[in-house]
Amino acid sequence: MTYGLAPLHLDQAGLAASVRELAAEHLRRGGPPVDIEELGWDESRLDPDTRLVLYRAVQEGLANIRKYAGAGKVELRLVGSHPYLILSLRDDGRGFDPRSRGGPTSPGGGGLGLALLERQVRSLGGEYSLESRPGAGTRLQIRCEPGKERPWTPSAST
């Protein structure tokens, strides 16, 4: 379980290789195929905390797709667009209403895992976007600016 939260090889192999492993595991568990594309991606610019949050975003997203989306295909994009690094995860599944906080299994809900993920991304100074509609699939996008000063948080002051 701890390995799934922060795999030992994430810092050594990098985010791209680690998310490919997540995609392979997702497929082994019965999820739809994941089309992964890297465009101008330079993860050497990522600090370990941001790398881990992006990894967890893919982990959470793929778990939700597998459990709830009924998707036939998934696209994962790792894009470098100076000064940003952008992670985008999109599926063609049943979608949901992200404004609902009743959980993904409720009619159209958005769950606790996504809310925690959004909080983590924002605590690192990143931008979090979740777009979904019932019947229209879901798109999660995280945009971070490596080297950008992070907002102060009580945990960052120690």
In this structure, are residues 105 and 68 in contact, taking their beta carbons and an 8 Å threshold?
yes
- Classify 137 as helix, strand or coil: coil
Give 117: exposed, middle or buried? Use CB within 10 Å, 0-12, 13-18, 19+: buried
DSSP designation for 157 = G
Amino acid found at 45? R
Least confident piece of the model among 30-34, 100-104, 115-119, 136-140: 100-104
The pTM for the full model equals 0.85
Q: What is the pLDDT of residues 20-74, one digit of tens each?
A: 999 999 999 999 999 999 999 998 989 999 999 999 999 999 999 999 999 999 9
The reported pLDDT for the residue numbered 7 is 72
35-148 has which fold? Answer: Heat Shock Protein 90 (3.30.565)
Question: How wide is the angle at C-alpha 149 spanned by C-alphas 158 and 52, nearest 5°?
Answer: 70
The reported pLDDT for the residue numbered 103 is 45
Q: For the beta carbon of residue 67, count every other beta carbon within 10 angstroms.
A: 13
Nearest Cα to Cα of residue 54 among 38, 71, 66, 30: 38
